[in-house]
Amino acid sequence: MEASTYLENDYYSEPHFTVFKVPEWRAKLYTFLSVNVWGNIPSPIQRKLSSKYASVYDKPFSKRFIKTYIRINYSDKNYLDKFKPPFGKSDFGSFQDFFIREFKELPKNDVPFVWPCEGLLCDKGKVSDIEKSRVKSDDRTITTIFGTLDSTIPKEYTFTNVFLHNKNYHRIHAPVNGTISRIQHIPGDLIVLRPWIYKQNPSLPAFRNERYNVDITDDKGRTWYLSIVGGPAVRTIELAKPIKVGGSIKKMEEIALFYLGSTCCMASPEAPKWHSKNTFVEVGATY
């Protein structure tokens, strides 16, 4: 899979990462291990194992790896200067603090619609064109991801799926001004998120993994559907405290954060202006 960036030098952060080209046989093996082996372990056990694994990153000793991780994964060695520790902390007390870092100053963009997160745009298309997925002998359409009926999301809406690598900024922000019209938690599995192992169906994990769905009704009365999807080692998805049904939300206001890896799907009445499948997007960039 080839991945490119749009105006890479203008990025406020550094969303790009190495996208591996996985041979067909290896992709099938990884898919089998993720879906048929790990995916058949009861979901509560998956979450328990993931939580235990994730807890390692909460330990104080893990903060020693932050500088090395930055040196290996970012071309900008002063990358961390754009961020601050989470929740008002004075320093990064663990590697998990680095994962859920906050911008010192959010990117500014005067356009009406922005990307809610950063990462690889691994899937994109009209809602009517995205193929079904078979999950545990059950064919599911794209609306399954968002927990809605097939007739709820207009077929002409655009579906996007952004995969957040471990190195990416792990907070989700509102793509538009509006009112929160629905919040839904869907328990599920925690199969591997990495899209390149699923080849023709990179959004497969979003059909079956645990997720929070948040709908935003914009000023024109149109609904923007967001699905915040967890994966292995994701201890939890945490909604921002001000987020509630009926509450107003401003563009770029925080919606949620991930503890470790994640994916963010969206079904929107607008189509991205500049980005195509397999390009990198950045939170706050023009949608």
Q: Is residue 112 part of a domain?
A: yes
Mean pLDDT in residue range 95-110: 92
Q: Which residue has the higher pLDDT, 52 or 133?
A: 52
Return the DSSP state at 116. Answer: S
Q: Is residue 265 part of a domain?
A: yes
Q: Is residue 45 part of a domain?
A: yes
Q: Please say if the pLDDT value at position 46 is more than 60.
A: yes
Question: What is the count of structural domains for the chain?
Answer: 1
- Report the residue count for the chain: 287
Q: How many helices (H) and strands (E) does the chain have?
A: 5, 16
Closest CA to 188 of 133, 151, 143, 231: 231
Q: What is the residue range of 119's domain?
A: 4-281
Q: What does the CA dihedral 184, 123, 193, 212 come to, rounded to 10 degrees?
A: -10
CA terminus-to-terminus distance, the chain: 23
Q: Is residue 287 part of a domain?
A: no
Q: Is residue 9 part of a domain?
A: yes
137: confidence class by pLDDT, cuts 50, 70, 90: low
Q: Is residue 286 part of a domain?
A: no
Q: Which residue has the higher pLDDT, 18 or 1?
A: 18
Q: Is residue 146 part of a domain?
A: yes
Q: Is residue 115 part of a domain?
A: yes
Strands in 254-258's sheet, in edge-to-edge order, are 171-173, 254-258, 237-239
